Structure 1
Amino acid sequence: MSYTKTLTFKTQDLGTDATLLLIFDKASDGLYNNKFPAVWKLAMFGASGPFHFTATFSSQLSWLKPATDLGSIVGASAYTPINYNQKTTLQQGGSGVLSFTPPETGTADSVTVVNGTSNSQDVALGSLPQGAFTPVPVYYWNGLGASESTQTKFQPVLRAYITSQYREGEIVKSEIATPRILEQDLSILDDNTTWNLRFNAAMGQFSITQA
């Protein structure tokens, strides 16, 4: 059974302009080798007055064939919802159209994708909110060879940073250099939570605390 978590981030007279980056980049097998996190959400907050930003995460996962532009995932040419213990195969029809096979039983506690085409393919894993047109990417794999597969156990551990160096959907090729100000397992949160973003001018540091 999938779940949805909605997080609202708020500021009041923050004291400086800030860009909040949300990403699932907790250390895992293959990270920054052939598996790369994608920027999940970006939000901008002004120095004075009230600001708020709401982000909704769905635990319903999906494999997708990503469409990329200048190092960012901008859409999907094909996708299929996937659950733990399932696998799907990316295939190419006679007209060259890519599609995923219906999910079938796979490896326990993982989601698996097989490249069933004759060429190397990039694939991505995304979160698929109910009613969404396409999945929101969270991880990207490049150069999955013909007949090769990859499997992963997604951890819904959200991390937050203050940085304006990235775009939403950007494929992050190395660890983010700015300090992490939040690490939160979304699976244990209430369905709706509020978070306060603050800036300590004397220390030059940002912080996020749950309201």
Structure 2
Amino acid sequence: MIEAELKARVHAPEEVLRALEKRATGRAEVYQDTYYDDPASGLAAQDRELRVRTVHGPQETRSLLTYKGARVDEASGSKPEHETHVTDPEAMHGILRGLGYVPVIAFEKRCRNYEFEALGRHMLATLVRVPEINGTFLELETLVDEDGDVAAALEDVRAVLQELGIEDGDLTTELYTDAVTATRER
């Protein structure tokens, strides 16, 4: 599957929150993300990602292993994504280290997720705050089959963002990993 996603800086978080609440009931979750790479940074050099994410929600805690391939759409940063549930995250961290991968960066994301249907697609909107980065972000994504029309999916995502009050000038492809790294290096 390809995650057709656009991310934006949100200048009026309360307005966007109200607009999302009209579409769906949000759920607050805290993500603890650890990104891995080989010692030579081979994954990053090929625009690929390997991540273990533990999600703490009001009802449950769950963990996921995610691999993202290289971007298929440069303008949005959309990537093929393969993800699976992990029942023992500490064992998964040990497996990745045992395979020669090293943790590159770990950080927390405070999220409020909204799932809804729009324009015939299942959408996931996530309002994001990363404690180490100033501001609020909105990620809006829909999944597309590997042979699907990513451009059409992104147009639908863009249309929903506009309905939520997000303008094209608010869009960003900056990665949280890069922003957190830059903050820590200051």
Q: Which has the higher strand share?
A: 1
Q: Classify the TM-score, shorter chain.
A: under 0.3
TM-score (norm 2): 0.28
Q: Which of structures 1 and 2 has the bigger CA Rg?
A: 1
Q: Which has the higher helix share?
A: 2
TM-score (norm 1): 0.26
